């Protein structure tokens, strides 16, 4: 048993050394040759320390080897996780976009949103400092907010002038024009976005309309995904 654990540990450490040394053009996870040399030296020191610890605890060799293997695996996972943190973040965003309705998966200047079960595209946006659930509506000429969403976003409801006629599911209503300081969806941030606030009780859902979409470089519906692309 002891010999088997010893060979396993030596194999893992040998694999680490091999990856560090044989990487193409002398780099590992974006490290330059000097950093690779430093990391290699640290691994050697780690092996030396582990060897000394095993020498002091020979009667508990198997337990010591098991503990050492656990720590080696944890260290490797941390190194890999840190080296590929941006790629892992994109994967996590994509998984979240499939599981959480309205969550946008960001990839650079592109945000992708999965179609909801009802066939619409629900979008979770951040307006000023408030998270607001919205529905994509390409027939709406403007972003339109309910009274509740406007209040959450800190807009001055008491001074609004409802001077704009809008068509809603409940018929014609009047809305007040405002300018949103910031509207964020995923990694896309647009500032000074024109919007409307519907009169109380006239709107059930917040609408993501053309006053936001027209500010993008492009947007399209491809299959069951809404793809938004901002300007550089």
pLDDT tens per residue across span 124-159: 999 998 999 999 999 899 999 999 999 999 999 999
Q: Confidence band (pLDDT; 50, 70, 90) for 25?
A: very low
What pTM value is reported for the model? 0.60
Which whole number is the average pLDDT over 181-205? 93
What confidence tens digit (pLDDT) does each residue in 73-112 have?
777 777 766 666 666 566 666 666 565 666 778 888 999 9
pLDDT exceeds 50 at position 26: no
In terms of DSSP bridges, do strands 188-198 and 171-185 run parallel, antiparallel, or are they unpaired? antiparallel
Per the CB < 8 A criterion, the answer to whether 2 and 54 are in contact is no
Among 229, 230, 228, 226, residue whose Cα is nearest residue 122: 226
């Amino acid at each position: 048993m002891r010999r088997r654990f010893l060979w396993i540990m030596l194999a893992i450490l040998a694999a680490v050394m091999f990856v560090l040394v044989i990487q193409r053009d002398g780099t590992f996870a974006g490290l330059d040759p000097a950093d690779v040399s430093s990391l290699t030296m640290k691994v050697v020191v780690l092996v030396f320390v582990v060897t000394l610890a095993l020498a002091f605890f020979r009667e508990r060799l198997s337990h010591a080897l098991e503990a050492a293997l656990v720590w080696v695996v944890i260290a490797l996972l941390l190194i890999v996780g840190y080296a590929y943190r941006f790629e892992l973040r994109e994967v996590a965003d994509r998984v979240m976009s499939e599981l959480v309705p309205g969550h946008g998966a960001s990839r650079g200047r592109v945000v992708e949103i999965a179609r909801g079960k009802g066939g619409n595209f629900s979008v979770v946006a951040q307006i000023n400092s408030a998270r607001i659930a919205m529905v994509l509506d390409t027939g709406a000429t403007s972003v339109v907010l309910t009274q509740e969403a406007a209040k959450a976003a800190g807009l001055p409801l008491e001074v609004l002038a409802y001077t704009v006629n809008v068509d809603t599911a409940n018929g014609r209503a009047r809305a007040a024009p405002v300018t949103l300081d910031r509207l964020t969806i995923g990694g896309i941030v647009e500032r000074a976005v024109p919007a409307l606030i519907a009169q109380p009780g006239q709107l059930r859902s917040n609408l993501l309309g053309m006053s936001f979409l027209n500010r993008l470089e492009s947007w399209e519906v491809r299959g069951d995904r809404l793809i938004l692309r901002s300007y550089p």
